[in-house]
Structure 1
Amino acid sequence: MVDQDLPSTPPAPAAPLSASPVPSLEGIFPRPHPSSETLFWLGAAAMVLGPLSGVPAILLGRLVLREISRSEGRYTGEARGRLGVGLGWAGTQVYTLLLLYVLGSICEPVALVVLGAGVIASLAIAIGASATGAPQPFGTAARVSRRAPWVTYPAVAGLLGVGLAGFVTKHSADERARVAALAACEEARRSANEALDASSFDRARSHLQEARRTCVEGAALQDVARAEADVDTKERETVQRRAEEEAARRERERAEQERERAEREQRAVARFKDVAPAIARHLQVASARATQRRWEDAEIALSQAELALDELRGTDVWQSERCAALVAQVARLRPDVDARVEQIRQRREEEERRRRELREAAEEKQRQMREAAEERLQQMREAAEERRQASLRVQCCDGTLSPSCLCARSSYRGCCSRHGGVCGCEE
């Protein structure tokens, strides 16, 4: 790139006054500026890449347009260069305004700052253009707007529109959030009231905490605080009422148990009066059978007595003198009877084992006898088969049987010599 203050080509030496000037071919045949095509495509790319391509397009455009204007007709492409610069400014402004709109819609102070910048810029341009002798900043703003109106006015209008749109968007979003918070607050308070009516105090506290988080109005927060106090009060009342109900229930259960125990004792007394003679008879039978050494009968009678006494276990009758005497008699007879019955059982098991061994020995002997008989029968069958094979005659090849040669012979020489030779044995 050549210096902007110098001409792009060195000056030709001064010709003598008498010589006629020679025309330059570059002035006759101008060519496009080498960077005009690059400038155009940078500007076009700014519509997609924004300032990343727009700022280089603007800076390159200043240099390219300056060189074209100073080339005295040697370079063309000014219109294409100005289009590239315009596209670069447009893409840069659009992306910058979009970024400011996004920031303003998120943060309200940013939207107010952008709107204020647009108002200040428009007032400065208006004052500088209308008032004579305006301060230097206003005059500078007016001159800039007159020199590049296609950049200044869209930028100022964009600042005003973006600031206002961002402020309105943020305000609308805040309003929707406030309405949603009010709805969530009312829903949490309603759920807390339902949980409180159902005596679910933990769930009511959870909903009230949600209401305290979502409610933003002072009256609603006061209602939430009163509801929390009501939850504590109702919980204490409910706990006290449940404790009283539990005490009353336990008292009723105790009275019911006492009544049932009294009824059970009465039934036990009546039952003992009925079964005491039978228990005494069973014990007498058990004692007599033990004296007779009929231990199994004694064990049966003793078990019947114990079964009748078990119905009275755990009652006051069990502690009575007569019942205690019967229980002591059972306890006295039981060890001897059990020992004798166990001996009888063991003796029977031993006898059963011996009978089983004798039965198994007899079965084994019978099996051996059957195997010996089968073996002898098999030997007899084999001997008969051998005798039959030994008695078979030789069959000649003409179909006749040899009258003198048997198949049991080791050599068939001379057999069937006149009948075509030996072809087998008699079937």
Structure 2
Amino acid sequence: MAAEPEYLEDISHYAMSSAQDSVCSVEPGTAEDVGTILTILGSTRTPFGIKGGGHIMNPNYSSTTGVQITMSRFTSIEYDASTSSVAVGVGNVWDDVYEALMPYNVNVVGGRVSGIGVAGYTLGGGYSYLTNQYGLTIDNVLAFELVLPNGTVINVTDAAYPDLFFALKGGYNNYGIVTTFTYQTYPQGLIWGGQLIISGEYADQVNAATANFSNNVTDPKAAVITTYDYEESAFLISIILFYDAPTQPPGIFDEFLAIPTISYDVSTMDYLDLVLTEDVEISENMRGYYNTVPLMNITTPLLEALVSQLQYWQSALATDSGTIFSYDVEPFLPTILTHGGPSAYPWTRAERFLPLNIYFAWTDADDDADFYNALVATAANLTAVAVSEGQILVPTAPHYPNYALYGTSLSLIYGTALPEMEAVKETYDPQNVMGLAGGWKVPT
């Protein structure tokens, strides 16, 4: 008998390699529904998965062969002008949030690419175009509506539950199921930005411009993402430019704008229009994993090594089914972690690290192991290059959990926060109900 369309939608994920056939799926509509479901699953010790937007790349992190809980009905977005805050249901993607807030001329610190769910993105930390100004997304969460493993619904704030508030900031689904986030909002008008597509033959100029921007631009309203790609054997570089005002000040982006382009789409626009700029459909319904290297600095030699890695792996895996090899370079100011307090991720705020995103996509399940091993190897190679430059903290620095490849040591995700996270786990989930779901699991 054919599976029902609702079930297929419930278990679907952005990457086919992240989806599994579940015994059944369930769509709760209220926090109380979630409490009932958790109570039943906990008492029967039934494995389950919790899916928000379904964009996480690691298999079994939001999917399951047990009961798939899909949070798609939690789509409320309620703006409160009196507190400059917005309550957002976990079934939303950031596109929905930005669109809902536009009439109020406010915004939140959220995702940079279309289709990203608010749930996993927020619970893993959250880097944004607005991070230079306001910090990580978790630094801007005022409250979490949380369903505890025993079915109780609580409102977690720093004042009411400081231990849980700390642990949820980067701690994913270890302590229950979040149903609503309340975020701080900020004034938002038109922005200047867009995308440049550049041929790989100009990689040297891109490297120089990206390194110079990372090390010399101090204006918190400015941001870039430089992405080096092989897509179907074509070496292309995408540069997303962002400035949080209708026009850019002279000089900040001149090096980028001087490079010849294949495509130029830069103008004054709404914030949402910038998020919709990147074509994410090209890699949808493929297989794929992320990996990451937490860099201290972005330098020209490091970017040259990155280009070499990109070219090597595209060639080495040429007989496999890979069609996308991508390295995203994301500069941020050294001050971004001063906007928030202690959190499970990053466990140290003494120094910020830059979350290099490595993404490979392919089509044939028989090639999964080849690409997994390649992602491990390329991250190790770039780590070695960074260390050789004097970036000695990189091997043991906090690895951004939204990018980290499964199999990464938990100590690299949570580090010195782990003992406190374990204590919180013992307090609120002594039966380890949440251990029945996948993800970055805190030991009990």
Shared fold, TM over 0.5: no
More helix, by proportion:
1
Question: Max radius of gyration: which structure?
Answer: 1
More strand, by proportion:
2
Higher RCO (CA < 8 A, seq sep 6+): 2
Give the alignment's TM-score, normalised by structure 1: 0.16
